[in-house]
Chain A
Amino acid sequence: MADQWLPIADLVTAVQAKKTTAADLVERSLAALAAQQDYQAIIVTLADRARERARQIDAEIANGKKVGRLAGVPFIAKDNFLVFGAETTAASNILKGFSAPYQATVIERLEAEGAICVAKANLDAFGHGASTENSDFFTTKNPHDTTRVPGGSSGGSATAVVLNMAPFALGTDTGGSSRQPASFSGCVGYKPTYGLMSRSGIVAMASSTDTVGTLARSVSDAALVIDVMAGPDAWDATTIERQENYQDLSTDLKGKKIGIIKEWMGEGLADNVKERIEAAVAKLQAAGATVTEVSLPSLPLALAVYYILVPAEISSNLSRYDGQRYGYSDASAKDLEASYRKSREVGFGKEAKRRIMIGTYVLSSGYYDAYYKKAQTVRTKLINEFNAAFKDYDFLLGPVAPTTAFALGAHKDPLQMYLCDVMTVAASMVGCPAISIPAGTSEKLPVGLQLMAPQRADKELLALAHQTEELLV
Chain B
Amino acid sequence: MMIMAKLKRDDILKLAQLARLDLTEAEITEFADELSEILQYVEQLQSVDMADLKPTNQVTGLTNVTRKDEPVDYGYAPKDLLKNVPTVQDDLIKVKRIIA
Contacts and interface: CB of A to CB of B under 8 A. Distances in A.
A315 interface: yes
Interface in A372-396: 373-381, 383-384
Interface string B87-100: 10000010111111
Nearest to B26: A350
Given A370-B46, A371-B42, A380 B56 contact: yes
A211 B93 CA distance: 32
Contact of A325 (B39, B45, B60, B84): B84
A193 B60 contact: yes
A352 B32 CA distance: 15
Residue of B7, B15, B99 with highest tally of chain A CB at under 10 A? B15
A414 B48 contact: no
A361 B35 contact: yes
Interface in A23-74: none
B70 interface: no
Given A361-B39, A377-B54, A195 B3 contact: no
A415 B41 CA distance: 8
Interface in A134-166: none
A335 B22 contact: no
A370 B15 contact: no
B45 A341 contact: no
Nearest to B34: A414
Residue of A193, A323, A361, A383 with highest tally of chain B CB at under 10 A? A361
A194 interface: yes
Contact residue range for chain B? 35 or more
Interface string B1-30: 101000100001001101111111001000
Contacts of B98: 335-337
**What secondary structure prevails in chain B residues at the interface with A?**
loop
Contacts of B35: 354, 357-358, 361
Interface string B61-100: 0100101000000101000110111110000010111111
A358 B56 contact: no
Given A238-B62, A358-B39, A415-B38, A102 B76 contact: yes
Interface stretch (A14-22, A109-117, A277-285, A303-311): A303-311
A337 B41 contact: no
A338 B96 contact: yes
A370 B1 contact: yes
28 contacts: A99-B84, A101-B81, A195-B60, A208-B59, A237-B67, A304-B45, A323-B86, A326-B84, A334-B96, A337-B20, A337-B98, A341-B20, A348-B21, A350-B27, A353-B23, A354-B34, A356-B19, A358-B39, A360-B18, A361-B7, A361-B39, A364-B18, A377-B50, A377-B55, A381-B53, A384-B53, A418-B38, A431-B60
